Amino acid sequence: MLIPSGVLGAPGRPGAMNRFTVGMIGTGGMGMSHLNNMVRFRTDGKVNIAAVCDVDENHLEPAVKAAGEGVDVYRDYRHVLERRDIDAVLIATPDHWHAVQTVHACQTGKHVYVEKPASVTVQEGRAMVTAARSNKVAVQVGAQARTAKGGWHTCRAIRNGIVGRVNKVTCWHYANPVDDKPVPDSAPPEGLDWDMWVGPLPWRPYNRRYHPANFRWVLESGGGQIRDRGAHQFSTILWCMNADQQTSFTVEAKGRAPKKGLWDCPVDMDVVYTFKDPDWTLEWGQPGDKVGETEFGNVFWGEHGRLILEWEGGYRPANPEAINFKLPPGGIEVQRTDEYEDFNMNHKADWFRSIREGYLRPAVDIEIGHRTAVLCILGNLSYILGRKLVWDGAKERVVGDEQANRLLGRPQRHPYHL
């Protein structure tokens, strides 16, 4: 009996009806945003939502309501990965879970959309890249500016010389918060599986100043603004500078530590990255010199002036100069996904297309996401150690600094480990 290829699907392609069957892992915060995007894709006939999963029952109730009838509900992501009918998963769990869940998903042959930052340690990030390549799956990191209009206009203008050769890019960003109202540890709220939430991290008791959301301000789990927003801003900057392959650099960070409370990320922080061949510097200023109007952004400093990009090129439009820039004869055109007006939808459409067409390298492929995360991680590491670091991107080692190299990875708690 002959069965049409569109029913069974092909390697890297969806099966029946040319739709992807997806599972949602992590449905709080950005997870609900991703789920709402999947509902839209389902309306367009492009996906089937098979499962939602979260360790917090308080997140599952609205997720089930949004996903609608027929969706299966899980509290342990491993049950989602066991499903052979699921083609792809979207991971929007806290940062410390990204690597473990992505690697396990790849090992079961599932394509992955994972929130930024890609990983907490350099070792985790490399494991994610290896898992994606060895299992031939597409892993897209959620740094959406590379498929958004603002980032596209800016990249196109910078690469075609709107300000001439760029020798410096600066970022401004508001400070990390201070835990000025510390509270004692307590029992976790009802419905939350705290052991699984902590997962691969060293065990810690529940504290309301750590969860929900505030894990971001603890170095071992969140890494502060530079790992959160820096993952967005640095991704856009590397794209604009055509520097994804410039993996070696020096990094020197200075910061002001908080004086009390649970949160230990530096309140203020200045980080300078120096690249060679071509030569340029990247500066993270927290708060830095606020050149634009909004809470954070970037400035490209060139031979013939400067170009500002508010935020990171996703949620805000490009500078009018970039929007109105005319491509010169023989200029460099920059590819952009423009299937949807909403840039979050666009980023996922780019991921789906990379799967469907079999090239498996979406706009923010896991290698790009990993290299961006390395910048953020090493900025924090330089701050922690109090010294300049020389990074060999080919070997993924700090040159001549074994103490720093020992901090590129860390043990993960059993059984939540790679």
Q: Is 100 helix (H, G, I), strand (E, B) or coil?
A: helix
Interval 296-332: pLDDT, tens: 999 999 999 999 999 999 999 999 999 999 999 999 9
112 and 221 fall within a common domain: no
77 and 183 fall within a common domain: no
Residue at 234 is within a domain: yes
pTM: 0.95
Interval 92-149: pLDDT, tens: 999 999 999 999 999 999 999 999 999 999 999 999 999 999 999 999 999 999 999 9
pLDDT of residue 339: 84
CATH label of the domain that carries residue 173: 3.30.360.10
132 and 268 fall within a common domain: no
Q: Omega into 328 within 30° of 0, i.e. cis?
A: no
137 and 150 fall within a common domain: no
Written as one letter, the residue type at 359 is Y
pLDDT, mean over the chain: 95
Interval 6-23: pLDDT, tens: 444 554 556 545 799 999
Structure tokens at 266: 């530096």
26 and 111 fall within a common domain: yes
Residue at 350 is within a domain: no
**Residues in Cβ contact with 69 at an 8 Å cutoff, skipping those fewer than 6 apart:** none
Instruction: Determine the Cα–Cα distance for residues 170 and 180; give it in Å rounded to an integer.
Output: 30
pLDDT of residue 144: 95
Instruction: Determine the Cα–Cα distance for residues 25 and 114; give it in Å rounded to an integer.
Output: 9
Instruction: Determine the Cα–Cα distance for residues 269 and 18; give it in Å rounded to an integer.
Output: 48
Q: Can you say how many angstroms the Cα of residue 339 is from the centroid of all Cα atoms in its chain?
A: 21
Structure tokens at 399: 């040159």
pLDDT of residue 6: 40
Interval 343-373: pLDDT, tens: 999 999 999 999 999 999 999 999 999 999 9
Domain boundary, last residue among 116, 145, 174 = 145
218 and 301 fall within a common domain: yes
CB 45 within 8 A of CB 19: yes
Interval 22-54: pLDDT, tens: 999 999 999 999 999 999 999 999 999 999 999
Domain boundary, last residue among 145, 161, 176 = 145
14: containing domain: 5-145
How far CA 349 is from CA of 46, 147, 231, 362, 384, in Å, comes to 10, 9, 21, 10, 39
140 and 251 fall within a common domain: no
Report the domain count for the chain.
2
CB 233 within 8 A of CB 312: yes
Residue at 64 is within a domain: yes
Domain boundary, last residue among 145, 165, 193 = 145
Interval 156-206: pLDDT, tens: 999 999 999 999 999 999 999 999 999 999 999 999 999 999 999 999 999
Residue at 204 is within a domain: yes
Per DSSP, 334 falls in state -
pLDDT of residue 198: 98
125 and 159 fall within a common domain: no
69 and 159 fall within a common domain: no
Q: Say whether pLDDT at 5 is over 50.
A: no
77 and 133 fall within a common domain: yes
pLDDT of residue 3: 36
Instruction: Determine the Cα–Cα distance for residues 343 and 340; give it in Å rounded to an integer.
Output: 7
Structure tokens at 301: 């400093």
